[in-house]
Amino acid sequence: MSERYVLISTDSHAGPPAEQYRDYIESRYRPAFDEAQTEAEAMRQLAETDDTRRFLDEWDKEIGEHGGMRGAWDPVVRDKEMDHDGVAAEVVFPDADSAGVGGVAKTPFTAGLGSTGDDDPELTLAGAWAHNRWLVDFCANSPERRAGVALVPMHDVSAAVRLIEWSAEHDLRGGIMIPTKWGRLPSYNDPVYDPVWAAAAATGLPLHTHSGVGPDPDDYGYTPGLIAIYTTEAYWWAARPLWALILGGVFERHPSLKYVIAENGAWWTPDIISRMDSKWEGDHATRKFGPAAFRSGLTMRPSEYFDRNCWMAASVMGDVEVERRHLIGVGNLLWGSDYPHPEGTWPHTRTWLAERFRDVPQEDVRRILGLTAAGVYGFDLDSLAPHVARIGPTVTDIHGT
């Protein structure tokens, strides 16, 4: 047993085809759902290029013998693919298709990765409920291996609190995901959200934001380099809630709140956090604002809140995250496969792990690949042990002989 790693993916995605989602939508929203699906499919086709079609053909071939995208909603296929990749357990986000594969629906009414505070409040909430109900059923298979993340729109604080309590009652141990962009809603440093943070802290459910949204359409229009620009600055949009929460004193007021940023790397945190610290300490560049501007409501350094309350689910992390793990915090860094996205490690996770972690001390690898996640999400290691014994990557697999 000690020879195998407990591999927990803190970033995976699941969602069914539209006809399955439809059953989970409240009946009065079904016409709007059908219309949105038709529109989404038309948009998908419009966005296709020769390049993307070529990529999808290759991808289809690559995953053909792995059930294709079926594992996105079929727990039996999914478990088989987790076994194939050596993954004992997973934290499940929405929106299984990130490439326009077809067949897998987006979360109803963009309540998933693309959600922002600017979306329609009523429809977004309806979409979130539909996904969350589907997710409870989906996680009921192999519950010891799956921690589902409930979607929590933020338009209505009371509705958000109800959703959190419902998620806790239905054992969605993955926690909750709020929109990365608050849009026209109050920013996340606004005390108006304190009941949401309090509910997450009280239930022990980790709070998440996940990368995905980028600049507003008005910011760049349809101009040259748009996708390259989007992928460059998407890091920043997904990082923004971090300083809103830390500097807004949210972790001061809710010391047990756990916050996880998913799929946004972690290479950027040491530089940003050390700058926050420097201002808190009263550096030359910001002395003109006076100490209250940086210390009000914060009894600790920003880095101390980060260490205590924040984790980076850096997914398919790069060499840079591994190299900077001590600056980021070895205990704040979580691995994820991003299954079944083509930007993830599936179906080659075992090879990928060996490439990335071969020369990293085992103690660090154990924490990054699974032990820290087990603590954050409350996975029961005893229940996972039989899976690990059966399919977990061995020390030799990763570090060689």
The residues of the shown chain that bind a copy of itself, judged by CB under 8 A, are: 49-52, 54-55, 59, 98-99, 184, 186-187, 189-191, 218-221, 223-229, 231-233, 235-236, 240, 243-244, 247-249, 267-268, 271-272, 275-276, 279-280, 284-294, 296-298, 316, 320, 342-343
Q: Supply the minimum distance, in Å, between the C-beta of residue 365 and a copy of itself.
A: 21
Q: How far is 238 from 236, CA to CA, in rounded Å?
A: 5
Q: Supply the minimum distance, in Å, between the C-beta of residue 172 and a copy of itself.
A: 28
Q: Compare residues 31 and 297 and give the one whose CB is closer to a copy of itself.
A: 297
Q: Compare residues 79 and 263 and give the one whose CB is closer to a copy of itself.
A: 263
Helices marked H in 170-262: 194-203, 217-220, 226-247, 250-253
Q: How far is 178 from 188, CA to CA, in rounded Å?
A: 10
Q: Compare residues 3 and 194 and give the one whose CB is closer to a copy of itself.
A: 194
Q: Supply the minimum distance, in Å, between the C-beta of residue 232 and a copy of itself.
A: 5
Q: Compare residues 3 and 190 and give the one whose CB is closer to a copy of itself.
A: 190
Q: Supply the minimum distance, in Å, between the C-beta of residue 214 and a copy of itself.
A: 12
Q: Supply the minimum distance, in Å, between the C-beta of residue 183 and a copy of itself.
A: 9
Q: Supply the minimum distance, in Å, between the C-beta of residue 81 and a copy of itself.
A: 18
SS3 category, 158: helix
Q: Compare residues 143 and 291 and give the one whose CB is closer to a copy of itself.
A: 291
Q: Supply the minimum distance, in Å, between the C-beta of residue 1 and a copy of itself.
A: 32
Q: How far is 397 from 360, CA to CA, in rounded Å?
A: 13
- The token duo for 330 is 């070895």
**Position 243, amino acid:** W
Q: Supply the minimum distance, in Å, between the C-beta of residue 360 and a copy of itself.
A: 20
Q: Compare residues 66 and 240 and give the one whose CB is closer to a copy of itself.
A: 240
Which is nearest to 105 in space by CA: 151, 72, 133? 72
Q: Compare residues 125 and 239 and give the one whose CB is closer to a copy of itself.
A: 239
Q: How far is 401 from 289, CA to CA, in rounded Å?
A: 57
> Which strands form 259-262's sheet, in the order they lie side by side?
8-13, 89-93, 146-151, 175-177, 207-210, 259-262, 310-313, 333-334
Q: Supply the minimum distance, in Å, between the C-beta of residue 2 and a copy of itself.
A: 32
Q: Compare residues 318 and 361 and give the one whose CB is closer to a copy of itself.
A: 318
Q: For residues 92 and 149, is the Cβ–Cβ distance under 8 A?
A: yes
Q: How far is 118 from 394, CA to CA, in rounded Å?
A: 46
Q: How far is 127 from 198, CA to CA, in rounded Å?
A: 24
Q: Supply the minimum distance, in Å, between the C-beta of residue 108 and a copy of itself.
A: 23
Q: For residues 107 and 127, is the Cβ–Cβ distance under 8 A?
A: yes
- The token duo for 30 is 């079904």
Evaluate the CA torsion angle 364, 366, 369, 372 in order and state its sign.
Answer: negative
Helices marked H in 65-156: 75-85, 121-139
Q: Compare residues 1 and 285 and give the one whose CB is closer to a copy of itself.
A: 285
CA angle 148, 237, 317 (to 5 degrees): 60
Where residue 35 falls (left for φ over 0; alpha for ψ -120 to 50; beta otherwise) is alpha
Q: How far is 221 from 343, CA to CA, in rounded Å?
A: 25
Q: Compare residues 139 and 234 and give the one whose CB is closer to a copy of itself.
A: 234
Q: How far is 328 from 267, CA to CA, in rounded Å?
A: 8
